[in-house]
C-alpha cells in the first residue's frame, strides 16, 4: 500500500490528461488537508503496518482482498492491539482505498464481522485518564515555582482547565485569539478536532475567584513580554523565552507532548499518581468539576464543545456516582 501522504498524488495523476501539473498539485494539497494532520500521520503509520503485513504473508495491499483485510484485523487482535488501534487501522485501509478510487474492502459483511470479533476479543472500554478536578488543579498550581517557567505553567494549567481545552487547541492559541472582556477573557479557538474546516468558536473564560485563570494568563504574558504570536512557548533552562533567532522563522510554540509532560511533572510534585494523569486531565477535570456542582448539561457542553451529549453524560455519571445513591437508605 502506498504511503497515505503520497496517495493523493496518485489520485491527482488520474486527472493528468485534463489537469496541469500546477492544478494537480492544488488537488493534492486539498486532499491532504481534508483530514487533520494528526489523523493523516496515524493513518500513514497504520497503512505501513498493513502493507508490511501483506508483504509478509503474500497479499496485495491495494486494492486489498477481503481475506487480507479480515486476516489482518484478526492478527492485530491476536497481537494484543487495543480496540481503538484496530478500529483506526481499519479506517486507514478504508481511507486509502477511497483516495485511490478502489472498492472499499472494509464495507464487506465478513470484514465487519471480523472487526466486531476483534473488538470483542480485546475489549472496547477505553483507558480513562484521571480527571484533574478543581481541587487537584489547585494542588498543582501551588507547586509551580515563581519563575518564568512557573508563570507559564500556571497560565497553561489554569487556562487549559477553565476552557476545557484539548491540548492541541491550547498550544495553537495566539495572542490575537485573546480578547479582554469586563467579565473575563474571550478566547477564539480557530480550529479543533470537531472543527477541521476552521469555522472557529469563542470560549468565555471568567475572571474567577479561586483559580483566577485570566490573571494568571496576563501575568505570564507580561512577564514574558509577549504581545503577539504564540501564547505558550518554550522557556530555556536559563529562564529565557525561546525564539527562532532568525528573521522570517516562526516563533516556536509548546508541543502537545509538552502539555502532558507539564501536567505529569506537577502531579509528581503534588504526590499524585502521575501516570494516571495526562493532557486530557484538564479537560475532563473541568467537566467533572462542573458535573459535581450540578451544572446543566447544555452549559457544560457550551464550554467543552462536545457534539455528543452521551460523552459528557459519562463524565456526569462518574462524578455523581455516589450522589443520592439508591442504596443510601438501606446499605
Question: Catalytic residues, which ones?
Answer: 166, 193, 280, 283, 306, 315
SS3 52: helix
3-state DSSP assignment of residue 195 = strand
Rounded Cα gap, residues 281 and 287, in angstroms:
10
Per the structure block, which three cell numbers stand in for 279?
493532557
**Cα(38)–Cα(36) distance, rounded to whole angstroms?**
5
CA 239 – CA 241 distance, rounded (Å)? 7
Percent helix, percent strand, percent coil in the chain, to nearest 5 = 55, 5, 40
| Residues 6 or more apart in contact with residue 184 via CB below 8 angstroms | 204, 205, 206, 207, 208, 214
Task: Please check whether residue 216 is in contact with residue 232, taking contact to mean a CB–CB distance below 8 angstroms.
Answer: no
> What Cα–Cα distance (Å) separates residue 258 from each residue in 231, 286, 314?
14, 20, 27
Q: The C-alpha cell of 267 is what? A: 502531579
Residue 160's Cβ-count burial label (10 Å; 0-12, 13-18, 19+) is: buried
Amino acid at each position: 500500500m502506498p504511503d497515505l501522504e503520497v496517495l493523493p498524488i496518485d489520485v491527482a495523476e488520474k486527472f493528468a490528461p485534463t489537469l496541469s501539473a500546477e492544478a494537480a498539485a492544488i488537488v493534492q494539497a486539498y486532499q491532504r488537508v481534508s483530514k487533520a494532520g494528526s489523523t493523516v500521520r496515524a493513518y500513514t503509520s497504520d497503512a505501513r503496518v498493513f502493507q508490511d503485513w501483506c508483504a509478509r504473508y503474500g497479499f496485495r495491499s491495494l486494492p486489498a482482498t477481503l481475506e487480507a483485510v479480515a486476516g489482518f484485523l484478526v492478527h492485530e487482535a491476536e497481537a494484543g492491539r487495543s480496540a481503538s488501534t484496530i478500529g483506526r487501522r481499519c479506517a486507514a485501509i478504508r481511507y486509502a482505498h477511497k483516495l485511490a478510487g478502489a472498492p472499499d474492502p472494509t464495507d464487506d459483511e465478513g470484514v465487519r464481522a471480523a472487526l466486531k470479533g476483534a473488538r470483542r476479543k480485546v475489549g472496547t472500554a477505553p483507558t480513562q485518564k484521571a480527571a484533574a478536578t478543581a481541587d487537584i488543579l489547585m494542588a498543582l498550581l501551588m507547586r509551580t515555582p515563581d519563575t518564568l517557567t512557573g508563570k507559564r505553567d500556571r497560565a497553561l494549567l489554569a487556562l487549559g482547565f477553565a476552557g476545557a481545552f484539548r491540548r492541541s487547541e491550547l498550544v495553537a492559541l495566539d495572542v490575537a485569539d485573546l480578547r479582554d472582556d469586563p467579565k473575563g477573557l474571550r478566547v477564539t479557538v480557530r480550529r479543533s478536532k470537531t472543527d477541521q474546516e476552521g469555522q472557529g468558536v469563542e470560549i468565555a473564560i471568567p475572571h474567577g475567584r479561586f483559580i483566577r485563570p485570566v490573571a494568571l494568563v496576563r501575568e505570564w504574558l507580561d512577564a514574558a513580554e509577549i504581545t503577539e504570536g504564540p501564547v505558550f512557548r518554550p522557556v530555556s533552562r536559563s529562564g529565557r523565552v525561546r525564539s527562532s533567532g532568525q528573521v522570517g522563522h516562526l516563533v516556536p510554540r509548546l508541543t502537545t507532548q509538552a502539555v502532558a509532560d507539564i501536567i505529569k511533572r506537577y502531579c509528581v510534585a503534588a504526590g499524585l499518581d502521575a501516570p494516571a494523569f495526562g493532557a486530557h486531565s484538564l479537560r475532563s477535570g473541568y467537566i467533572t468539576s462542573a458535573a459535581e456542582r450540578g451544572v446543566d448539561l447544555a452549559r457544560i457542553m457550551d464550554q467543552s464543545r462536545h457534539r455528543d451529549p452521551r460523552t459528557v453524560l459519562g463524565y456526569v455519571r462518574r462524578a455523581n456516582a455516589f450522589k443520592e445513591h439508591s442504596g443510601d437508605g438501606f446499605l
